């Protein structure tokens, strides 16, 4: 049995996550373009709670309001 990889898009402003299979490209909370993959290695985002890339360790950049 092969487990299917679930990937997400994450809003860099409010950290809202949606499944990659959804049609959403922009956050419905604030209109920000959603991140689809790591900017460094292009690995998919595999957790809706991710703050770092699980492949290369790059920190996902969120707005100062999130910190």
Model confidence, pTM? 0.79
Q: Report, as an integer, the average pLDDT of 2-9.
A: 83
Give per-residue pLDDT as tens, 10-36: 999 999 999 999 999 999 999 999 999
pLDDT band at 64; cut points 50, 70, 90: low
pLDDT band at 67; cut points 50, 70, 90: very low
CA 38-5-16 angle, to 5 degrees, is 55
- 37 closest CA partner among 63, 3, 5, 67: 5
pLDDT band at 1; cut points 50, 70, 90: low
């Amino acid at each position: 049995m092969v487990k299917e990889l679930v990937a997400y898009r994450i809003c860099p402003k409010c950290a809202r996550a949606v499944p990659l299979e959804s049609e959403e490209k922009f956050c419905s909370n604030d209109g920000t373009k959603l991140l689809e993959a790591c900017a460094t290695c292009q690995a998919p985002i595999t957790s809706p709670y991710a703050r770092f890339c699980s492949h290369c360790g790059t920190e996902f950049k969120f707005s100062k309001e999130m910190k």
